[in-house]
Structure 1
Amino acid sequence: MSNNLPAGDLTALRTNPPGFSTVDAERIARELYGMEARATALFSERDQNFHLRPAQGPGAVLKLYNALEDPAIVDFQIGALGHLALQDPGLPVPRLLQTRTGERSAHVEGPDGAGHIACAITFLPGRLLEKAQPGPALLREFGRTVARLDKALRGFFHPAAGQRIAWDIRRAGELRPYASLIGDPAAAAAVARVLERTAGRLPAFAALRSQIIHNDCNPGNVLVDADGAPRVAGIIDFGDMIHGPLVFDLALAAADVAGEGMGPIESAQEIIAGYSAVMPLQDDEIATLYDAMLARHAVTLAIFAWRQRHDRSGADKLEQYERTGLPAFERLLSAGPQAAEDAFRKAAGLAPGAPFVSTPRPAAAAGKDSAEPLLERRRRLLGSGLELSYERPLHLLRGDGVWLWDADGRRYLDAYNNVPHVGHAHPHVVEAIARQSALLNTNTRYLHESVLDYAERLCALMPAGLDVCAFVNCGSEANDIAWRIAKAHTHGTGALVMENAYHGGTEAVAALSPYDMPASAVAPHVRTLEAPDLYRGRFRKDHPAAAQGYAGDAGRAIASLAAAGHKPAAAMIDTAFISSGMLDVPKGYLRTVAETVRAAGGLFIADEVQYGFGRSGTHFWGFDFHGALPDIVTMGKPVGNGHPLGVIVTRREILKSFTDRTDYFSTFGGNPVSASAGLAVLDVLEREGLQENARRTGAYFRQGVEALMARHPAIGDVRGTGLVMGVELVRDRKTQEPAPDWTRRVANLMREQGVLIGTEGPRRNLLKIRPPLCFRPEHADLAIEALDRALAAL
């Protein structure tokens, strides 16, 4: 067999893998890794891979590199896996195993006497995507996973990233002579034209965002859930990594994967929608995507033709592609560049021919008339008092990750909604809800594992002693039951809450929510605590005793309750201090308040609806962030990623005081579907490292907004930690005069630019930014740019 190497000795056309046997692989596993395992050969283009199956567990993959492989390329691949493990621990890619001596790789002698490099990585169970029939949900998840991989590879570099390989579509011109080897003359001519056109597009490719990319996310390198769930279980084979245009990874994935019953354009649209939800595409990337997809097909067909002539065994490994790739290539060609680009733009949420972030449009140009009939129906059927966001209300139809789409197909970056905590329509949460709904949903008067599994996982995340749960349907109910529990346990009737607090809509909790309420209207059994506002309060940022100064107000409130005949039952406090102004609370304040209330016989109820589940970035719970120990913790909204679910966690003796006195039951609280949603949210938080993302992205986001203060004197203060941030707007920084009208205008101007935020605070002059936890630095950049333009337009 000839192994002539065309096109200037491009790597990846050299096959002849090593000749190790399964017995050799088992011996190497014992000697290098101390692993007793049975070896099974796996497919590899130019190296050898063996699945090492121990008596228990999924095992590992032993990789034995081609003797011709440059050691720097091996180090490149090993370094990339190490980088990915640090950057995105939940990303489904292999993890590197160390040898018995702590090395990342070792040298072994092959049967032919040649030296080879060996390394071992974890084995990822699943089935190959090429053997699946993916639907839209799996295609979108595939796109999201490729984008996560690209995001995790950012910042990584290696000298070997410049390797010259045939699978780099920028080498299309060098493969042009081999199009003539294709047997079908029409196909040969089409491939030749595309290769030639690709060579002419090199300047356009060179202008795109570039980094190290995987460069081979084809269905033979992608594992999916073995049971058919729309989940990517693994991306493998990092042998074709290069430094190249970021969009190439998307182009290769979109070109090579076909959805069940879908054409190449429709399949690509789903993958693009998933990818852009995580990694927003730029205008020039969309403009080159069609050419890059065609180039992928043309390069593969040219390599296949060369191998049929020079490397029959290598060609055999590509025969499956010949059956599917050529028809897909021809259908993509017939679609034409303009139709394809328009479809791709729509999938990415971009207007035809225009980038995502655009100048604000006049209200009349954005379909006001089309919304009017819906507004009229809403007023007629729901009443006129139900609040709507923005001067021009949004008619939203779809969400994905951090993105929302309206009825006109326009995409919006969601920097406001904390309900879809792990992202809109997260496939793992959706699949968990759908799977359990198809099996059983009933009340909790029957035994079921899911609510118990969820309670165990939730309590394991709590401080010692908080070990029993009560389940309801939302945050309002959670706070209502928590208040009833506190009264039952303490025999008290008085409550302490923050000024302008909001805790829910039941009658009991509404009394604990003096939101927009004057002090004279507060219920007789409730006392409000002075907001610990370091920007405009009595004690400012530089005051050494600010925490103690503000916390002292708890003593005053307790004395006032006592004078009115009320022993304190509890202090209920939102640990994010959202309605109080999203405050940067002085360290030790909340702990001191909790201790003061507890000393007076009351309990501390930590309302975690806003701050819980990792939003602070540094801590999983808000009370932990403040160093305060609660007696009761309440959750709602994000706990089920939008699925109706509320939870109360407390100490066993506290709950017993309540259940001994009342026959409490919630029909839907903790039902199997809701518990499955809660479990899925915890899965995603852990797998995708979203708490750490909140920490890093939140710090990056706040720093970017603070930088705007130099250009925009309307920004009086920026505060918040993790992915919760408040931007206070003032007319004058010296007088700190609030600017609520400017605040409303900025929120509406950003909405016109496609970025959604809210407004908050007792003076209504606070921009509220509180996105899903999958919000990344590139999303923060879009929001910062939109805020910059909106402030400039004041």
Structure 2
Amino acid sequence: MKRAKLSDLEAAILVKNRYGLQVLSSRELASYDDLNVHVTVGDGWENANISILSENGYVLKVLNSLDSKKTNFVYAMHAAIRHVSEKGVQTPTPVLTVTGDEFCLEELPVDTESTSNGPETAQFLVRLFHYIPGELLLGKPYTKSLCYEVGQLGGRLDRCLQDFFHSGYENHRRHWSLLEVSNLMTKSEALKSQEDKDLIRDIVASFKQNVVTHFTRLKRGIIHADLNEANIIVLPRNENTHPSLNQHDTGGYAICAVVDFGDSVHEYHVFELAIAICYIMLESTILDPMEAGRYVFAGYVKENPLPELDIDVLKECVCGRLAQSVVYGAHVHMLDPSNTYCLHTTRRGGWQILRRIWHMDKITFLNLLRQPV
């Protein structure tokens, strides 16, 4: 997999030629696999597909070389984004090129850090999105209200997408899909202790027995599948427009938008909830992880109530996602010891949270999540 590298001038020329916009400034945004550049533009434009300029600029998104080949999925992803946007979910929407296309394929320089072959070029899929101002959820204090809103966001997305489908989601599967929990033991050689291996083996067996066997009965639809701290945009809370849950939980931040549908899949709603709970638990510093998860749960089911069968497999799904995080991280680190970013979940107490939940009785786990908020 290769990542593109563009100078400010190269990015400006690309935006001008493909989107008819004059770039005034550009700034690269953090991204692990792809290249994302925030650009501001001048007043004039030469693109009949743009009716009004985005006052906050745009994001030039260049997919990595691997995902650039999945063009049918990109069409599906764009359709899903527009679908939820039309239903009131705040999310950046794609801009059509001067020729009316959803994207363009460009031969661009490769980031030398992503290849050992020296200077080279590759074909990359390029898109332009409206930019939504705000801050990442990353590093913000996870108040009860904010955790609740994360759950609401997941539930609202799944409810909005319930009547949506696109052929690009057929047979589309991602490495991070919860369906891949069944295959986790193939990477268990990266785990150093037998105790860790035994734990993962038990989680995989339980997932296969209690979740996989019920797939045909679980609530299914298109899900975002990656509601983490880097894909949620927040702003300082305005109690008039985004009131807190109660007078004891005022201030902090409120959710204003969701980004990056690159991991969206046609899977199960309980997966969405489990993934959101996991990420909030891992990043929560002022609330106990279970309490933070309780507010995510409450917000989600408020927007998108789940059948009892789905809720009954939530513990296995949460443990499955946590297991993926620690195993994938260990496996990447084994292959590349210089990569310490991949151990983020372990540093955030991923193993401790996983063991705590796994050794908790399922009824106790669900009762804790269902406590009134």
Which residue of structure 2 aligns with residue 27 of structure 1?
Answer: 13
Which residue of structure 2 aligns with residue 245 of structure 1?
Answer: 268
Q: Of 184, 206, 210, which aligns to 2:220?
A: 210
Output aligned runs, 1:542-561, within 5 Å.
none
Q: Of 297, 314, 324, which aligns to 1:289?
A: 314
C-alpha displacement of 1:321? 2.4
Q: Is the aligned partner of 1:61 residue 2:82?
A: no
Q: Of 24, 43, 46, which aligns to 2:33?
A: 46
Q: Of 175, 181, 189, which aligns to 2:198?
A: 189
Contact between 2:3 and 2:33, CA under 8 Å: does it hold in 1?
yes
Which residue of structure 2 aligns with residue 178 of structure 1?
Answer: 187
Output aligned runs, 1:28-427, within 5 Å.
28-33=14-19, 34-54=21-41, 57-69=55-67, 70-86=70-86, 88=87, 90-111=88-109, 112-161=120-169, 162-200=171-209, 201-226=211-236, 229-258=252-281, 259-311=284-336, 315-324=339-348, 325-347=350-372
- What is the aligned-residue identity percentage? 24
Which residue of structure 2 aligns with residue 772 of structure 1?
Answer: none
- The Cα offsets for residues 735-783 of structure 1, whole Å up to 9 and x where unpaired, read as xxxxxxxxxxxxxxxxxxxxxxxxxxxxxxxxxxxxxxxxxxxxxxxxx
> Does the C-alpha gap of structure 1 residues 312 and 80 become closer, same or farther in structure 2, counting only changes over 3 Å?
farther
Question: Residues of 1 paired with 2:341 and 2:29: CA distance?
Answer: 12
Contact between 1:210 and 1:243, CA under 8 Å: does it hold in 2?
yes
Question: Residues of 2 paired with 1:288 and 1:116: CA distance?
Answer: 40
C-alpha displacement of 1:215? 0.6
Output aligned runs, 1:8-19, within 5 Å.
15-19=1-5
Query: Matched residue of 2:23: which SS?
Result: coil
Residue ranges of structure 1 left out of the alignment (5+ in a row): 1-14, 348-397, 399-794
C-alpha displacement of 1:107? 1.7
Query: Matched residue of 2:174: which SS?
Result: coil
Question: Residues of 2 paired with 1:130 and 1:186: CA distance?
Answer: 31
Contact between 1:205 and 1:288, CA under 8 Å: does it hold in 2?
no
Aligned residues: 331
- The Cα offsets for residues 592-641 of structure 1, whole Å up to 9 and x where unpaired, read as xxxxxxxxxxxxxxxxxxxxxxxxxxxxxxxxxxxxxxxxxxxxxxxxxx
Higher Cα Rg, which structure: 1
> Does the C-alpha gap of structure 1 residues 49 and 195 become closer, same or farther in structure 2, counting only changes over 3 Å?
farther
Which residue of structure 2 aligns with residue 372 of structure 1?
Answer: none
Question: Residues of 2 paired with 1:160 and 1:53: CA distance?
Answer: 32
Cα RMSD over matched residues? 2.3
Contact between 2:164 and 2:222, CA under 8 Å: does it hold in 1?
yes
Question: Residues of 2 paired with 1:191 and 1:158: CA distance?
Answer: 34
> Does the C-alpha gap of structure 1 residues 211 and 340 become closer, same or farther in structure 2, counting only changes over 3 Å?
same
Give the TM-score of the pair, scaled to structure 1.
0.40
Contact between 1:29 and 1:37, CA under 8 Å: does it hold in 2?
no
Question: Residues of 1 paired with 2:229 and 2:180: CA distance?
Answer: 22
Which residue of structure 2 aligns with residue 386 of structure 1?
Answer: none
Question: Residues of 2 paired with 1:239 and 1:312: CA distance?
Answer: 27
C-alpha displacement of 1:177? 2.0
Contact between 1:107 and 1:118, CA under 8 Å: does it hold in 2?
yes
Question: Residues of 1 paired with 2:134 and 2:81: CA distance?
Answer: 19
Question: Residues of 2 paired with 1:281 and 1:139: CA distance?
Answer: 18
> Does the C-alpha gap of structure 1 residues 299 and 36 become closer, same or farther in structure 2, counting only changes over 3 Å?
same
> Does the C-alpha gap of structure 1 residues 123 and 265 become closer, same or farther in structure 2, counting only changes over 3 Å?
same
C-alpha displacement of 1:185? 4.1
C-alpha displacement of 1:280? 1.4
Which residue of structure 1 aligns with residue 45 of structure 2?
Answer: none
C-alpha displacement of 1:192? 3.0
- The Cα offsets for residues 355-408 of structure 1, whole Å up to 9 and x where unpaired, read as xxxxxxxxxxxxxxxxxxxxxxxxxxxxxxxxxxxxxxxxxxx8xxxxxxxxxx
Contact between 1:171 and 1:199, CA under 8 Å: does it hold in 2?
no
Aligned-partner residue type, residue 29 of structure 2:
L
Question: Residues of 2 paired with 1:182 and 1:53: CA distance?
Answer: 46
Contact between 2:236 and 2:253, CA under 8 Å: does it hold in 1?
no
Contact between 1:51 and 1:61, CA under 8 Å: does it hold in 2?
yes
Query: Matched residue of 1:117: which SS?
Result: strand
Aligned-partner residue type, residue 31 of structure 2:
S
C-alpha displacement of 1:230? 4.0
> Does the C-alpha gap of structure 1 residues 342 and 106 become closer, same or farther in structure 2, counting only changes over 3 Å?
same
- The Cα offsets for residues 84-113 of structure 1, whole Å up to 9 and x where unpaired, read as 222x1x312111222233322112111133
Question: Residues of 1 paired with 2:108 and 2:201: CA distance?
Answer: 40
Aligned-partner residue type, residue 73 of structure 2:
I
C-alpha displacement of 1:229? 4.4
C-alpha displacement of 1:117? 1.3
C-alpha displacement of 1:272? 1.0
Which of 1 and 2 has higher RCO (CA within 8 Å, sep 6+)?
A: 2
